[in-house]
Amino acid sequence: MKTFLIQTVENEVVHDFSFNLIEAIKYNNWYYHTNTYRYILTNITNVSIPNCIPIGSIEFVMNYLNSYYQYNYINYKPLNIPPELMTENYLKRSCTIETAKDIHQFEEPLFVKDVNKLKGFCEIINNKQDIPTSGDYLVSEIVDIDSEWRAFVYNNKLVGLQNYSGAFYKFPDIQIICNMIKDFNYPHAYTMDIGINMDGTFIIECHDFFSCGLYGFSEHKILPKMFISTWMKLIEENKNDQNQKT
């Protein structure tokens, strides 16, 4: 039986993914007539309860990883836009990976995001004085976005699609999304943020499946498995990192 450790604030569930996971746990246990999953609510990362799957903010998940697996928060590299998807057909805008030094050659405004850190530098640059002095960054021209959608992917299949900003009646090209999934060929659960404008459907960025909003996605049968998939990936990455150090 898998146990999820779900973050609360003042004893209240505060994240939409936590609420939906609780409902999915109840559904699975009812549907399969067995205690397949259970959950524990906590206001803090409860280090006295090992072998759980932490569900909550990025800090909550990473603190739990550090408590039991000596995980280095800084070493986690977000997906952003995977190299396999950095093509003209999927980007539909000028978008490159640059060092801080090289950003100065571009004309502002620019969208600039740290490619190596969660919650790292992420801003629209209107003045070169605002550019970071070191590191690697995703540098994108600013484009209009009429509608934004979050695609949910599990076992290399599109399992959900939710509008989270802009015109909900402007639907993305599903075939392009499926082509992205095929080309990325990522074996773990993840989300893919998709934009739509006059140039069509394009990728914004990808996220491993933790600490990310669901916007109404609630496939109860697979939702717990998606969280488990990412958790196992994080643990395995940490083991590999530790082995390389030794």
Integer Cα distance of 24 and 224 in angstroms: 7
Contacts 24+ apart (CB under 8 A), 143-147: 143/92, 143/93, 143/195, 143/197, 143/199, 144/197, 144/198, 145/195, 145/196, 145/197, 145/204, 146/170, 146/196, 146/197, 146/198, 147/172, 147/195, 147/196
> Are 88 and 179 found together in one domain?
yes
Q: What is the pLDDT along the chain (246 residues), one digit of tens a residue?
A: 899 999 999 999 999 999 999 999 999 999 988 889 999 999 886 667 888 999 999 999 988 888 887 766 667 889 999 999 999 999 999 999 988 888 877 777 889 899 988 888 888 888 766 777 788 999 999 999 999 999 999 999 999 999 999 999 999 999 999 999 999 999 999 999 999 999 999 999 999 999 999 999 999 999 999 999 999 999 887 666 655 555
Residue 228, in any domain of the structure: yes
Is residue 168 domain-resident? yes
CATH of the domain at 199: 3.30.470.20
Say whether both 193 and 220 belong to one domain: no
What is the DSSP code (8-state) at residue 212? -
Residues 87 and 193 in one domain: yes
Residues 71 and 160 in one domain: no
Containing domain of residue 225, as a range? 2-76+216-245
Q: Total structural domains in the chain?
A: 3
Task: Supply the pTM of this predicted model.
Answer: 0.92
- Are 52 and 126 contained in the same domain? no
Q: Please tell me whether residues 87 and 159 are part of one structural domain.
A: yes
Are residues 150 and 184 both part of a single domain? yes
